Structure 1
Amino acid sequence: MDLGIRDRVALVAASTGGLGRAVAEALAAEGASVVVAGRRGELAKEIAAQLPEAVAVQADLSAPGGPQALVEAAREAYGDPDILILNGPGPRPGTAADLDTGDLAAAVDSLLLAQQRLVALTLPAMRRRGWGRILAIGSSGIAAPLPGLALSNAGRAALAAYLKTLATEVAADGVTVNLLLPGRIATDRVAALDAARAEREQRPVTEVEAASRATIPAGRYGTPAEFGASAAFLCGAPASYITGTALRCDGGLVRSL
């Protein structure tokens, strides 16, 4: 299937590892010109050098002016982005009963406010051209809040509500707005969460992983490449009638429709 995104400009936030990197690689494989962004500038350069057409930008979206600097660098390299991938590091694990107000504010700033700033900077050009894709890398916690991840659940749910509202406002302009929700994908983040759970429960990490796989109908963790392929489809021309949707890539983990 031709996704129709050859030579489209894709800005992928937090793409120096994990799911962000997988999405950047998938978009590049489809012929998009990709802006690889992250706090680790040298790593971003290494990743960009491995892609067919890409540039690297060191960016901290939580810093003052960070989103503006990232978008300006993307424009300098390729012009206004056609595709915006919203992504950011997950906050620390923790329970809702033990939330710290400062930590909650930081999670909202990272998972909602920084992402909204990127949208505000890139959306006007998409609307003028009559074509755009905004896709957020979310979490299955949006559909079913995850135990022990209260900060992530709260911040990502707020982003989902904002994007769902936005989708209805810009659909007629040819701009789609969606979320892609990973379940248990084999990334460093998931490995760290498994390790934290193993330490908390005082049992081997292999037992934690086995117990987690047992809850997934597919019987395994997903791969970053599978997630990236799903993201690339949602960013493509064939997905032009899909908007305002939270699609799960989770092997059947979440039992609700």
Structure 2
Amino acid sequence: MDLGLQQKTALVFGAGGGLGGAIAKALAAEGAAVIVADINLDAAKATAAAIAGAGGHSRPIGWDLADLSVIEANIAGIEADFGGVDVLVNNTGGPPPTPAAGQDPALWLSSFQSMVLSVIAITDRVLPSMRARKWGRVITSTSSGVVAPIANLGISNALRLSLVGWSKTLAREVGRDGVTCNIVLPGRIATPRISFLDERKAEREGRSVADVAAESTGSIPVGRYGDPQEYGDVVAFLASARASYITGSVIRIDGGLIQSI
């Protein structure tokens, strides 16, 4: 299937590894030029090297989402060299595991800026050119916690949920301009973030990491953690010309883990 991503430019955040890296590689494999953005430039370079090794085209860039002041210069540079962003993949890091109650307001504020406000500001910056070209894709990766809140991820559950409402509202505003906006939810995908969360849970409960992982996989209908490539492939489809009638949606990539309808 030709996904129609040749000659398109994609900007992928958190692309130095994990889900973002898998998404960047999947888009590049379909012919898109990928801007590999990550707070860790060395990690971004490693993903870009892997893309180049597979015959794809990409450019790494160091980008701290908490710093809103760099948005204009970074996007202007991409527009000058690539002609604009056709596919935007908003993929941010998560806050530390915490209960919902009793957290320092400063932590809420810093997390909001890096996880929510940055996403909105960057999307607002690239939307005018998408709308002018009558083609664009805004895909935001959040968490299964937005439909089934996860224990001890109070900040993540709350802030990521705000992006669902924003994306749904935006989809209605820009749909007639050929721009789609969708949310993707990972279940238990085998990334360093999941390993970290398993380790923290094991520490809290005085159990082994292997026991925690076994319990987690036991609750997944397909019986395993997901492969990051499986996640990247779904995002590549949503970014494609073939997915032009999918917008305002929340897509679960979870192996059946989320029990709510």
Cα offsets for 1:140-185 (capped at 9, x unmatched): 1111111110111111001111111100100011000001100000
Alignment-derived partner of residue 15 in structure 2: 15
The question of whether the paired residues in 2 share the 8 Å contact of 1:57 and 1:73 is answered with: no
**Conserved 8 A contact 1:13-1:86:** yes
Match runs of 1:55-94 below 5 Å = 55-94=59-98
Aligned equivalent of 1:242: 246
Instruction: Determine if contact 2:16/2:46 at 8 Å carries over to the other structure.
Output: no
Is contact 1:55-1:77 (8 Å) kept?
Answer: no
Quote the offset at 1:101 in angstroms. 1.3
Residue 18 of structure 1 aligns to which amino acid in structure 2? G
Tell me how far apart the structure 2 counterparts of residues 64 and 156 of structure 1 sit (CA, whole Å): 18
Tell me which stretches of 4 or more aligned residues in structure 1 moved more than 4 Å: none
- Superposed, which structure 2 residues align to 1:1-257 within 5 Å? 1-51=1-51, 52-257=56-261
In structure 2, what is the Cα distance between the partners aligned to 1:231 and 1:177? Answer: 12
Which consecutive residues of structure 1, in runs of 5 or more, have no partner in the other structure? none
Q: Which amino acid aligns with 2:50?
A: Q
Q: Secondary structure at the match of 1:124?
A: helix
- 3-state SS of the aligned residue for 1:57? strand
Q: Is the Cα–Cα contact under 8 Å of residues 59 and 69 in structure 1 kept in the other structure?
A: no
Q: Is the 8 A contact 1:37 1:44 kept in 2?
A: yes
Distance 1:17 1:70 in 2: 21
Q: Distance in 2 between matches of 1:58 and 1:233?
A: 26
SS in 1 for 2:247: coil
Question: Quick one: which amino acid aligns to residue 6 of structure 1?
Answer: Q
Partner of 2:5: helix, strand, or coil? coil
Q: Which runs of 5+ in 2 are unaligned?
A: none
SS of match in other structure, 1:49: helix
Task: State the percentage of identical aligned residues.
Answer: 45
More off after superposition, 4-13 vs 41-50:
41-50
- Equivalent position SS for 1:50: helix
- Is the partner of 1:65 in helix, strand or coil? helix
Q: 1:65 deviation in Å?
A: 1.2
C-alpha distance in 1, partners of 2:161/2:218? 26
Tell me the CA shift for residue 118 of structure 1: 0.7
Shift of 1:107: 1.6
Q: What is the root-mean-square deviation of aligned Cα atoms in Å?
A: 1.0
CA distances 1:68-99 after superposition (whole Å, capped 9, x unpaired): 23312322331210000001110000111232
Supply the distance in 2 between the matched residues of 1:43 and 1:234 (Cα, whole angstroms). 25
How far apart, CA to CA, are the structure 2 residues paired with 1:192 and 1:68? 33
- Report SS of the residue matched to 2:34: strand
* Contact 1:85-1:134 at 8 Å conserved across structures: yes
> For the residues of structure 1 that align with 2:70 and 2:95, how far apart are their CA atoms?
19
Instruction: From the superposition, tell whether residues 138 and 111 of structure 1 become closer, same or farther in structure 2 (CA, over 3 Å).
Output: same
